[in-house]
Structure 1
Amino acid sequence: YITKQKQFDSHFGSLVKEGMAKFNSLDFTYDFDSVLFLLDNKAVEFLYSQPDSLNRTPGEVFQVILNQYKEPESFIRDYIHKAGEDPKFTFHVQIDELYLIDIGYEEQVYPDTAMLPRAPRHALNAGTFAHERNFFKISYGIYIDFIERSLLILREMWLIFVMEFFTLSLVFIVFILTFRNMLKQNRLSEMKTDFINNMTHELKTPLSTISVASSALGNPAIFNETEKVTELSSIIKKQNKHLSELIDRILDINIWERDQV
């Protein structure tokens, strides 16, 4: 947001200064001479009037008169509009120094500049001017305050906000999926460990039985015992079938595990 503020102030600050420079290059001398003449008359009033009889300070009166000179405001408004921008703004004159002058005498009205009327905090300076007449000397700045400055900046930032929202959402989704996958992998690993432990026991049992039965069949002493041979053959056949079923289970679980991954 701070970066956008600086970009806004830089863009519109340059624009109002360009507009003010264009205005100064035009011939508005006659109109402004009448303003300076009026200020000179007001300076005389302040010089020769009793302080108790005055309702307003010189700074307030001079600022009101300068603000009534509308040509710069109208010109800058039109200049900004032609530049493709159309923000709402207010026009302000900020007096920096003011002296009342009499013959051989010069009085600074506001030694403490903090007492002078100030422009709004975020107003942009369009130009600084100084004038000296018979009874006063003044320096002041013209400031442009964009009323909807914060709103305009936020409007420019909406795309950034949307992109940041989707980026954060994507990161959150990826995190959730990764976490779920880790839990699934952990569960599969535990299941595999349990399965291997169980299968180790399950496989050893039929293999041991087949081994014992095979060894017994290899003994010539039982060749004449038909029932014994039949029983041992049945045991081998039964355990072989059980072993085949275990192998099929292992293959099925292996296929299921690959599908889960």
Structure 2
Amino acid sequence: MNKKLFVLLVVLMSLSLIGIIFVQSYFINRSLENERQQFSLSVKRALSFVSKQIEDYEYRNYRDKIQSYLYNNKEPDSSAVQRLVVAFEDDDNDQTIIHRNIILEERFKIPSLFFEIDADSTDFSKYTNERITEVYKKSSLDKGSFERVSQIREIDDMEDEAKSFLYRETFKDFISSVDYPLYKRISPELIKVFIEKNLKNEGIEIDFEYAIYDNDLSTKIRTENFEKSLNTYGVPVFLDNNNESSYDLLVDFPGRNKFLISTILWMIILSIIFTSVIIIAYSSAIYQLIKQRQISQIKTDFINNMTHEFKTPIATINLALDSIRNPKIIDDKEKVLRYLGMIKDENKRMHAQVENVLRISKLEKNELNISKERLKLHDLIEDAVTHVQLIIEDRKGYIKLHLNADKSSVLANETHFTNVIVNILDNAIKYSDGAPKIDVYTENVANNILLKISDKGNGMSKQVQKRVFEKFYREHTGNVHNVKGHGLGLAYVKQIVDDHQGYISVESEKGKGSTFTVRLPLIS
């Protein structure tokens, strides 16, 4: 895939994912805001019902106390009469209909002790309604006589609605004119019952705190933990005849936010689950794309490196074969043997490279049988050094051994672990532009032995250090192939060390060399 197209696809997919997350967040916020508004409306509606219930409760108490007193009282202190007379002429039936509505107001003085206020007495009124409907012959009225056809007479208290209105108005005027303690008008427990019932009717069943304030000053009617906050709602209570009041019922919901979130919790959970699935799938897809791209690039580099490394041996073998076929050389036994030796060496070199690939493959599939035995690590180090000693001397370098470990017995495979040390030494030689300068150290740490191989070569960057043990990985050097290899040596080293229950790491600085550290468990 073209690099620009790959980057474009990643950018578009990322923007789409960010857009999905943003849209999800937006709708969740909108839903939460709608729930918050609905909650506020429900609370305000419930509190308005509470205010009305408080007023009705107080009025019923007033009416119940007053009614028995008024109707048992024999003589009013004063009375007043209001009359309404309506006459209707019915010519077709020769009738005149006269309706009289008489309202009698009787005033009584009731001792104030009855209401526990500081006054001698209080005036209250009782209303009686008398309705008379009389039907006369119209012709008899014209002649000056009163011939009554029928009469309907009703005497009772005023209509319930009118009576209730008058009593309620009277009560409001009375209660606003006296200094009646608030805690005697209604109990805190009853207010709590009213609030709970009306909130439940609105579908709100959470804990709350409440208080009644008088001109922003707290009264005795309040819960212990009430505090004003952003979640406090209020409604006026004990309204007078002008629908005004200095009292406010305030209700606070400490757990409002949790309650609101719980109403859309299923939506949040599903959104998180689905979004997480999308993110995981997206991340996995991107990872696989990048991994496949890296593998493709690594394979390409591997093929190029292998081709480059096979090209020289093949060319050398061809030249050697052509030389042997030359009539002038074929009779020269010394030269023929020399060319045959070159062919054998180059063939061994290609065979070793193929073996490296096969060994890594078998290690990953756990098909490589590695038998271990008790060995001295110092002996393996000395054996490995002999493999590269001639190359070191040819390049005018040195290998210094500092075998300071008192104990060096390990459980290891002689061939493979020798190859591990040779590979590390070979890397130190290859990545030294000048004469290789290598120091080998051993030391005992607890129940382990540490093997450190330090060089003063080219070193490597932090990024390269993180990936140096990956299969096929080689540091990019452009098109310059001054260091031969195919990125399998150190991958093989790590596989073998891991199989020996060991640990390998590298410390390096660009231009100052590298130190490979191998830790192996000792055996007694």
- Name the structure with the higher strand share: 2
Query: Larger Cα Rg: Structure 1 or Structure 2?
Result: 2
More helix by share: 1
Greater RCO, CA 8 A, separation 6+: 1
| TM-score, normalization by structure 1 | 0.49
